[in-house]
Amino acid sequence: MDAENITTVSVIKDHHTRTITSCCFDPDSQRVASVSLDRCIKIWDVTSQATLLTITKAHSNAISNCCFTFSGHFLCTSSWDKNLKIWNVHTGEFRNRGACVTLMQGHEGSVSSCHFARDSSFLISGGFDRTVAIWDVAEGYRKLSLKGHNDWVMDVAISNNKKWILSASKDTTMRLWNIEEIDEIPLVIKYKKAMGLKVKQCERCDRPFSIFKSDTSSEVFTQCVFCRIDTRGLPVDTSSSSSSSERENLPPPPGGSKDD
């Protein structure tokens, strides 16, 4: 097989009104997620190319990246609005509606990329503030921020054994980070103590998760973030979020720009 013998199986059109910034298969390769400058999330069937789920105005600015959990039930999106969101995109119950948890205050600039650990125990994101953020998914807070790049972090990845993080940057370098003993890092321990975290077991899925001791919500005390998403609904706006006449040139993202 060579490049000359590879043919296009199909061309998928009319799913977005502006530049598509990212796409990914679900773990079973039956569905594809795509995100765009039009702030829209699309989940569609690979075989039929039918749209299974549309979430418009998912973020307040362009969506830069997306990734599935290994169960395929949840999708994380990162955005130039400096936030990440975790969506329940499981077909069936949430075919016509979505539910999400928003992860905020992890980056000072636009978020460029996101990636779940294989067991969904944590999430990482890269940003144009030159940092890599490690998130506690169970309670939705930033566990640690990794600094070292001299320019925008463009992409991130996690090894299957959860020991390594890889980050790629506009500064022409990649960095390999060892996070095997992240919970033993003094800064992480200090942050957990300062926030008053304790570990609980989810009443629905038995997954251990962290909670704030000061949180008085009965739902938070009994369920992990994934089960909480499962039980809340968010109406999906079916109106168009962007005009097709908008310019397709990729503009520079706001925030987190390199110092002059």
Tell whether the model's pLDDT for residue 233 goes beyond 60: no
Spatial separation of the C-alpha atoms in residues 12 and 161, rounded to whole Å: 35
Q: What is the DSSP string of 25-56?
A: E-TTSSEEEEEETTS-EEEEETTT--EEEEET
Q: Give 183's pLDDT tier (boundaries 50, 70, 90).
A: low
Give the predicted TM-score (pTM) of the model.
Answer: 0.72
Share of the chain above pLDDT 70, in %: 65
211 CB-near residues (< 8 Å, 6+ apart) = 139, 197, 198, 199, 200, 220, 221
Q: Which amino acid is at 30?
A: Q
> How is residue 43 written in tokens?
């989940």
Of 27, 151, 152, which Cα lies nearest the Cα of 78?
Answer: 152
Spatial separation of the C-alpha atoms in residues 179 and 133, rounded to whole Å: 12
Strands (E), 58-216: 63-68, 74-79, 84-88, 97-98, 100-103, 111-116, 122-127, 131-136, 141-147, 153-158, 164-169, 174-178, 197-201, 208-212
Residue 146 near residue 132 (C-beta atoms within 8 A)? yes
Tell whether the model's pLDDT for residue 222 goes beyond 70: no
Question: pLDDT tens, 189-206?
Answer: 555 555 555 556 677 676
- The pLDDT assigned to 243 comes to 39
* CATH dotted code for 12-180: 2.130.10.10
Question: pLDDT tens, 27-85?
Answer: 999 999 999 999 999 999 998 988 988 999 999 999 999 999 999 989 999 999 999 99
Q: Which residue has the higher pLDDT, 194 or 157?
A: 157
Spatial separation of the C-alpha atoms in residues 18 and 243, rounded to whole Å: 8
Spatial separation of the C-alpha atoms in residues 116 and 70, rounded to whole Å: 8
Tell whether the model's pLDDT for residue 236 goes beyond 70: no
Spatial separation of the C-alpha atoms in residues 142 and 123, rounded to whole Å: 9
